Chain A
Amino acid sequence: MNSSVFQKQGHRYWLLGLLLTVVWCAISVGAAKVDFAFPFELIANWFGLNNSENYLVTIVNNIRLPRVVLAILVGAILAISGASLQGLCRNPLADPGLLGISSGAAVGAVTVIVMADKLAISSVMQPYLTPLAAITGAAVATFVIYRLAQVKGNMQIATLLLAGVAVNALGGALIGVFSYIADDQALRMITFWMMGSLASASWKMLAIISPVLIVCIVLMLRKKNELNLLLLGEANARYVGVEVDKVKRELLWLNAIGVGVAVSVTGAIGFIGLVIPHILRLGSSADYRFLLLNSALLGAALLILADVIARTMISPAELPIGLVTAVLGAPFFIALLIKQKKKLVLGI
């Protein structure tokens, strides 16, 4: 009778298998040619079993591997954020983009990019200031939508979504203004940054952001039961014992910090947060006991795949990864909507 539960748990092993396969491909594919058995050599090298001075090992260790790790973390946080926001807002279209969190991060980063010259920010400081500004922007956006949505001590989800739309519009306008006043070089950076890239990945940067993203992911995973109950509506969740306002507050801040950090290092990457949870709802289960972890695994796998496409398609140049996820995600989402229209799976 409960085979379906085990089946759904089984999906996570398939997704883990997919993730490992994609990681293997990402290590093996790129401008510097290595064969598919190369990861064995790499692993042997890590454990000191093979001390050959192969320059390819250096390339993979220092360039490809940090990108893979960054893709795993960012893909996981974006997908899990989308899944948790959809549950929190009881709205299938919610994601960090819709609520204005990504937009806030973008405004923060663009401000630093454009104002660097005017504020006499040294080029040494800029790489540190851009992420900090993005995190601040995400936090400010979250704070604004959170305060707007608070009505008599309770969070109104409908107002939260509307506030997100308003913050998005404001963010878009501010970015428009900055693009207008930006010089050519800054404009190029803004354009590239708005479409996302994993090219900034380095072990040094990962050492700073990984702990934050991992803590956010783990804390969000722990909210699986509360998110399941929130699907029944806030009143029902309260009746079953969920401290609804506390859970909502925690999830919103985890989203702000996680997405802010992710967007600050990779730029805006769309569709992962929106599409991944829906793929899993259709293919596996809408039950948050499975959905959150599965979203993290599939989000990570898809972002690695998108990055492989982004850096190999027009090699040695690179496509912005946001373009790849949009090109992969948009048609898929349209197909999903058509299917939903026929089956009314999501009931909206």
Chain B
Amino acid sequence: MTIKVDNLSIVKSEKTLLSKINFEIGAPELIGIIGENGAGKSTLMHCLSGLEASKQKISLNGRTLESYGNQELSKLRAVLPQNNDLIFSFQAREVVRLGLSLSSLSIEQQNEVVNDCLEEVDADTFAQNNYLYLSGGEKQRIQLARVLAQLYSSKEENKYLLLDEPTSALDLKHQVSVLKLLKKLSKKRIGVFIIIHDLNLASLFCDKILLLKQGTLVSFDTPKNIFKPELISKTFETDVLIMQHPQTSSPLMVNQIN
């Protein structure tokens, strides 16, 4: 899977949301998108989904996203936005099945995919419950299972996942298990982009980091090169201390309290 973003700018209502973004990804990796609030992370993700007007600036496997039809794109990438509310009662496993709604799989094959995805996000225990009554974290895992199901149902190669803060409501155990799962997917040649505010998790699991500030790309590099005190303090406008993880020696950040 290759993705090339070429001089991408988005201006809406005279406000620049993204300005001259350039980067290239040559192989499926777990890529973290980080930055302050309003830095343009979700806008960039929307552009990468192929549904933003800027699609001629982004190419996937050598073809511009514009040249892909909506249905063709839905077989190549799945997207998990921040808000995924339902207004009517659905059984949790049926929400996962929604990811397969337009697939040509038989009911048996669908059940198999749904069960696999539920297991992967550790949601089989509440799969029969009403989605509306689940906790925030449980809902988030069900929605993640839904986008996984969408991607698994496609036989295409060069697939990728776009996840907007998929760990924001998760507990410690599930934050780690979800990131391990995403890492595993990237090793299976599925590219993963993840917007994440927990910089330590990003440092521990991501292969590369896209660091955004006010719509511009500050840096696109490995966590070791991104998580430097000066760069992070300047980007987030708060002083941080950088330490090393005792097991992996990857950078760990804590706020500096004056």
Enumerate chain B residues within 8 angstroms of A226, measured Cβ to Cβ. 101
**Any chain B CB within 8 A of the CB of A242?**
yes
Closest to A235 in B: B81
**In whole angstroms, how far apart are the Cα atoms of A17 and B98 in the complex?**
29
Task: Verify B88–A241 contact, CB threshold 8 A.
Answer: no
**In whole angstroms, how far apart are the Cα atoms of A228 and B150 in the complex?**
14
Task: Verify B79–A239 contact, CB threshold 8 A.
Answer: yes
Enumerate chain B residues within 8 angstroms of A92, measured Cβ to Cβ. 87-88
A interface residues, tally (CB under 8 Å): 29
Enumerate chain A residues within 8 angstroms of B90, measured Cβ to Cβ. 231, 286-287
Enumerate chain A residues within 8 angstroms of B150, measured Cβ to Cβ. 239-240
Task: Verify A286–B70 contact, CB threshold 8 A.
Answer: no
Enumerate chain B residues within 8 angstroms of A239, measured Cβ to Cβ. 49, 51, 74, 77-79, 81, 147, 150
**In whole angstroms, how far apart are the Cα atoms of A118 and B102 in the complex?**
54
**In whole angstroms, how far apart are the Cα atoms of A231 and B101 in the complex?**
12
A-B pairs with beta carbons under 8 A, tally:
84
Enumerate chain B residues within 8 angstroms of A2, measured Cβ to Cβ. 107, 111
**Any chain A CB within 8 A of the CB of B170?**
no
Task: Verify A232–B86 contact, CB threshold 8 A.
Answer: yes
**In whole angstroms, how far apart are the Cα atoms of A233 and B80 in the complex?**
12
Task: Verify A286–B102 contact, CB threshold 8 A.
Answer: no
**Any chain A CB within 8 A of the CB of B249?**
no
Chain B, 166-207, CB within 8 A of any chain A CB? none
**Any chain B CB within 8 A of the CB of A281?**
yes
Enumerate chain B residues within 8 angstroms of A228, measured Cβ to Cβ. 98, 101
**In whole angstroms, how far apart are the Cα atoms of A232 and B79 in the complex?**
12
Task: Verify A231–B88 contact, CB threshold 8 A.
Answer: yes
For chain B, the bracket of interface size reads: 20 to 34
**In whole angstroms, how far apart are the Cα atoms of A286 and B94 in the complex?**
10
**In whole angstroms, how far apart are the Cα atoms of A96 and B99 in the complex?**
29
**Any chain B CB within 8 A of the CB of A90?**
yes
**Any chain A CB within 8 A of the CB of B89?**
yes
CB contact under 8 A between A238 and B70, given known A2-B111, A90-B87, A286-B89: yes
Binds B, one of A37-45, A252-260, A314-322, A340-348: A340-348
Closest to B90 in A: A286
Q: Which A residues fall within an 8 A CB radius of B?
A: 1-2, 4, 90-92, 225-226, 228-229, 231-233, 235-236, 238-243, 281, 286-287, 344-348
A-B contact pairs, 13 of them (CB 8 A): A233-B83, A238-B70, A239-B51, A239-B77, A239-B81, A241-B71, A241-B75, A241-B102, A242-B70, A281-B89, A286-B89, A287-B90, A348-B87
Q: A1-B115, A4-B91, A233-B85 are in contact. List 5 more A-B contacts (CB 8 A).
A: A232-B84, A239-B51, A239-B81, A241-B71, A347-B85
Q: Which B residues fall within an 8 A CB radius of A?
A: 49, 51, 70-71, 73-75, 77-79, 81, 83-91, 94, 98-99, 101-102, 107, 111, 115, 128, 132, 147, 150
